[in-house]
């Protein structure tokens, strides 16, 4: 009797993925994991390390975190693309501001033409640095977060939609947060936009189902990114203790879940908000 050999699961060979906010943290980890799974990867971010105006661009974002990362040379968009090419995949880094609809449409059209289409879109770009209780929330930063975290994902999804539909194998993945499902003390703009992504994701799931497009969201908890590591030690300890597993997750934990949702094996999964949170959403004491 014939025996079956080992199955190569989550094989993304021949697929093209585009990731936003990919110069560091979760976005960078997503790019590398997708490439290791076989995909060609389009790396996009508002910050490119070769940009002679890097610090000025970071300042214009009004994101303290972006400014700190740029000042400390923690910007790896082009390096990530080079690492992916060394894996034998095609990759290119593009500068893209997700709030600039004209630029979003231009970059996505150019990338689709150069790579032969787009099969996977990971909406990862977002701000997380607006902290303050409701009465102290800045109206300007509230609007900024709406534009980046929520409208930015809408812009990219709308621009990529014809390409996802054309290929007959569309995978939309949104980066939400437990702040969007549980709320976040002092994080009104972040929580509201991350919750809004879940509504956008489910609407896209309903509309995409007839065209071979699945739409899902990752709901990360405490993940040890560069942003997490810049927060005060006491705050980091409190967040970790709130997690059932009593440890922060790694960016690769999120990236592996994204590879699963992008894979053929997840073809009958759509409209799902998948926690990658170590049990932070459980009653922990």
Which residues are known to be catalytic? 190
Sequence-separated (6 or more) residues with CB below 8 Å from residue 78: 43, 48, 49, 50, 93
The DSSP code sequence of 32-74 is: HHHHHTT-EEEEEES--TT-TTHHHHHHHTT-HHHHHHHHTT-
Spatial contact of 89 and 73, defined as CB atoms under 8 Å apart = no
Sequence-separated (6 or more) residues with CB below 8 Å from residue 203: none
Nearest alpha-carbon partner for 95 in 50, 59, 56, 55: 50
- Residues 18 and 113: their CA atoms lie apart, in Å, by 13
Q: Where are the beta strands (DSSP E) in the chain?
A: 16-19, 40-45, 91-95, 120-123, 170-175, 213-220, 273-276
Spatial contact of 281 and 181, defined as CB atoms under 8 Å apart = yes
What radius of gyration do the chain's Cα atoms show?
18
């Amino acid at each position: 009797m014939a025996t079956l050999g080992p199955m190569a699961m989550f094989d993304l060979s021949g697929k093209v993925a585009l990731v936003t906010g990919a110069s560091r943290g979760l976005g960078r980890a997503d790019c590398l994991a997708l490439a290791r799974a076989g995909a060609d990867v389009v790396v996009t971010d508002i910050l490119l390390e070769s940009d002679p105006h890097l610090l000025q661009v970071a300042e214009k974002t009004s994101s303290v975190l972006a400014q700190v990362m740029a000042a400390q040379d923690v910007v790896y968009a082009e390096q990530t693309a080079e690492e992916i090419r060394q894996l034998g995949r095609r990759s290119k880094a593009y500068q893209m501001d997700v709030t600039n609809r004209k630029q979003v449409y231009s970059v996505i059209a150019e990338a689709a033409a150069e790579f032969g289409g787009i099969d996977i879109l990971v909406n990862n770009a977002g701000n997380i640095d607006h902290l303050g209780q409701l009465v102290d929330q800045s109206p300007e930063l509230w609007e900024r977060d709406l534009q980046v975290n929520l409208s930015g994902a809408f812009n990219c999804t709308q621009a990529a939609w014809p390409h996802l539909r054309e290929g007959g194998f569309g995978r939309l993945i949104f980066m939400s947060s437990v702040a969007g499902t549980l709320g976040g003390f002092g994080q009104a703009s972040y929580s509201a936009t991350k919750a809004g992504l879940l509504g956008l994701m489910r609407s896209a799931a309903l509309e995409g189902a007839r065209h071979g497009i699945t739409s899902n969201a990752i709901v990360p908890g405490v993940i040890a990114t560069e942003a997490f590591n810049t927060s005060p030690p006491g705050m980091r300890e409190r967040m970790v203790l709130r997690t059932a597993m009593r440890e922060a997750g790694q960016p690769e934990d999120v990236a592996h879940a994204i590879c699963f949702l992008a894979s053929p094996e997840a073809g009958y999964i759509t409209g799902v908000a998948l926690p990658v949170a170590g049990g932070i959403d459980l009653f922990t004491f």
